Each structure stands twice: as structure tokens, then as C-alpha cells.
Structure 1
Amino acid sequence: MNVKPVLLIFTDSVALPRKYPEGKILWQETYIAKIRAHYPAYDVINVSIGGASIKDLRNQINYYMVLEPEIVLLQCGIVDAAPRAFGRLELEIVTKMRLLRFTKPFVSFLRRYRAHHYAAPKEFEQKLVALKEGLNPKRFIALGILPSSSDYEIELPGITQNTVKYNAILKKHSDHFVVLDDIPRNGILSDNHHVNAIGQQFIFEQLQKVL
């Protein structure tokens, strides 16, 4: 039996289908589905976790090392680059104690002055290297974090600078770094960090240049 080489895709929710206020993205419109359809020579396997930090994706690799992937494609970073008011444990405690509504007036202030990260740059780099070395592919492809907008900078002060910083880490440790800075603005949803069908098609076309 001929065994296909494995193309393993690790992503956060950016790659997933979703409903949004103006419409929806079907599975067939995602860049993962397009890769499957256009590259039948590969066994395309995706591990996609909504809201995933690099730590969450790193924690999954023990299940996939056995695949000995030829290519690993990673899309991750916005969850960690975003400055936050609370850490995950803090947010869990605040939520369980039903204090979230009392903290809302202070979230913008706390986000600006605490600027907490689920994985700060040093830890992000450590987990990224661990993921890459653990899976040990022949080629490691990383997608850049989507470019921020002026509206997103107002919502999350510091996100523009953080995007540059985290993208530099991704580029440093990838064999192919796919820059998404030229993605059409009408391909990015109003939440500023997810994409619609236009954005998914753009990402797929950029990936075709390196696959």
C-alpha cells in the first residue's frame, strides 16, 4: 500500500468556518479545504483549536509525532500577541465568581497598562521551537499574523507593534514564512482578526507559492 506524505496543519480559529454578522464561511471556502482539494498527493490533516495559544498547539504534538509529517503548516500568534487585561487563570476565577460585569469598566485600562499575554514573546518562541522540533518536518511553513488596522489598535493598544514582534519570531523559525500584509481589507472581518471567504482565498493563493 502506498502511503501518502503527510501535510499537517496546526491552526487557531482563523482557518475555521464560522458565522459572522454579515454572513458565513463554509468549510469548502476555508484554505484548509482548498489545500485538500488541490493537493491530493498529500494526506492533509488539520488540528484547529479556537482561541489557541501556541501553548495549546504545542500540547497536541504528542498525538501527531507518529505521523512523521513531511510538511507542517502553522497559523498561530494573534491569541498570544493580543494584549489582555487578565491571564487565563485570572479570567477563569473572575468568571466563576461572577465578577466579570464589575471589571468591564476597567478592562481597557487594565489591557493597556498590564498588557498581559497568554504567551509572552520569550515563551512564544520557546513553545514554537518545541513544536517544530517535536514534529520534525522536512519543511516548516508559518503564516504571518494578519496586519492590524487603526481600529484594532484603538481597541487593543499595542497590537500593531506586537504583531510585528510575533511575526518576526515566526519568520525566524520557519523554512517558509508567508506574509499576509497585502490581504485585502474586505477579506478581514469586522473583529479585525478573522477572515471571510475573500481572505481565505487570499491565504490559499499565498500558500500555493510555497507548497
Structure 2
Amino acid sequence: MRVLCVGDSLGLPRKGCPYEKTWFFKLAKKYPNIEFVDYFKRGLVLTETVNLYNMYYTDYKPDIVIIQTGICDCAPRYLNSNKLFWKLLLNLLGHLGFESYFWKIIKFIFSRRENCVYTKVDVFSQLYRNLIEKFIANGVKKIIVVKIGHAAESVAANNCYFNSNVDKYNNIINKIAVEKKDHIITIDPLHNVHEDLFVDGYHCNSNGMEKVYHDLDGLEINNLV
């Protein structure tokens, strides 16, 4: 059996959460007879995930896929730095050594806005459904979705739309999960969370990663297909 794990920085090790404490490492260690393939990338958005499917994922031919992504799509921002204009400007300012000053000005003038996100709600819905259907068409038997996690108070207090955006985008995942109930299993280990699960109010420390692992392990992956 082969399990493909796809995610953003929430699945990656960092200070406060060594690699040996990540849910990926712990699952692979518990099930040595299952082949685990990982693709985790900081800043991974759904558009890139779909593109990666077109380029690489079909070649893995996994039986099970675990997806932990979405926060980079829905997090409220000061500006959409993925747009070409801002990308070019930030690149220029970076070369000139002025990027940090630029962000200080932006944060002084603007606030994070609910709809200033990398992936709009309707686009997220279309892309997510498209990705799921691609996996199913490629022979994936089960897709485990780790739903987008809530932020702790230290983050949510400074970004008032953060958790409401998380709920909005998770509702899309819930709807697709109902439509594809024979293939999708969802878990929500980081819902209504506390500071002791994170290193910075959002990225998991060892305790937070253990919580995700606990919910994944409870599915008994070796018996799903």
C-alpha cells in the first residue's frame, strides 16, 4: 500500500517540533509495511497543489492520500503578494534592500481584510473539487483531509477574520466530503485550540503535532483499503 501525504508548513518540522515528532514521521514509523510518500512545502496554495498533481502525483499512484492544506489560501492578508504587480514590486524592493520598510508602511496604513486572500472562496471550491476528482479518477481509494486549523488567541486577536475564514473554507471541504463520501474522510484535530499546541499561535509544536497524529492514527490507515 502507498500513502501520499501532501501539505503546507503545518506538517513540517520547526523549532519546537523536531522531524521525529511530525505526524508524517510517526505514521511512517508505526506502519513500516506501508510506503509513505511526502510532499510538504511552505506556502503551498491549492493552485500549486493542482499543478503538482498534473506534473507528479499521477506517477505515484497512491492508494490513500492525506491532504493538509488550505490555510495559505484563506488567511486574511494586508495585500495579495501573489499578484504579478506586487510580486514584481517586492522583488525589486528586495534587491534594493527596502522590502522590510515597505511592509512597515503597508502594515501602518492597511489592516488585514477578510476577502484579501490568495484564493477566493469560489476558486477554492472549484480547485478543491477538481483535485479530489483527479485523485479518484487516478484510482485513489481513500482521501483523508486534515481540515484547516483554527489559530490560537495570540494570532486570532490580531487578525479578527482569521478563524471565520477558516470556518468558511472548511465548510467548502465539508460539502465536498459529503458529495464524495465514499472516498473522503475528514478529521478536524485543530478546532477551537489553545496556545499550548503551537510555537507561534498557529504552527504546531510537538503537542499540536501529536494531536493531528492521534486523529490520523485513530483511522487505522492499514485497514482503510
TM-score category (smaller protein): 0.7 to 0.9
Shift in Å at residue 106 of structure 1?
3.1
1:142 paired residue among 138, 141, 145: 145
Equivalent residue for 1:165?
168
State the distance in 2 between where 1:91 and 1:34 align.
39
State the distance in 1 between where 2:115 and 2:218 align.
36
What is the percentage of aligned positions where both structures have the same residue? 23
Shift in Å at residue 186 of structure 1?
0.7
User: AA paired with 1:129?
Assistant: R
2:195 paired residue among 185, 198, 210: 185
Shift in Å at residue 109 of structure 1?
5.0
1:44 paired residue among 27, 36, 48: 36
User: AA paired with 1:198?
Assistant: N
Deviations 1:24-66 (A, max 9, x none): 3221111000110112232111111111111121111131213
Shift in Å at residue 108 of structure 1?
6.1
1:14 paired residue among 10, 20, 34: 10
Equivalent residue for 1:83?
76
State the distance in 2 between where 1:108 and 1:155 align.
14
Shift in Å at residue 111 of structure 1?
4.0
Equivalent residue for 1:130?
130
Residue 113 to residue 43, structure 1, CA distance change in 2 (3 Å): closer
| Native 8 Å contact 1:85 1:115 kept in 2 | no
Any gaps of 5 or more consecutive residues in structure 1?
Answer: none
Comparing 103-112 and 156-165, the one that deviates more: 103-112
State the distance in 2 between where 1:8 and 1:110 align.
40
State the distance in 2 between where 1:198 and 1:102 align.
36
2:38 is equivalent to residue 29 of structure 1: no
| Native 8 Å contact 2:154 2:195 kept in 1 | no
1:151 paired residue among 143, 151, 154: 154
Any gaps of 5 or more consecutive residues in structure 2?
Answer: 178-183
Equivalent residue for 2:180?
none
2:209 paired residue among 197, 200, 203: 200
State the distance in 1 between where 2:194 and 2:106 align.
34
| Native 8 Å contact 2:152 2:194 kept in 1 | no
What TM-score do the two structures reach when normalised by structure 1? 0.86
State the distance in 1 between where 2:127 and 2:32 align.
31
Comparing 168-177 and 32-41, the one that deviates more: 168-177
| Native 8 Å contact 1:83 1:111 kept in 2 | no
What TM-score do the two structures reach when normalised by structure 2? 0.81
Shift in Å at residue 107 of structure 1?
2.6
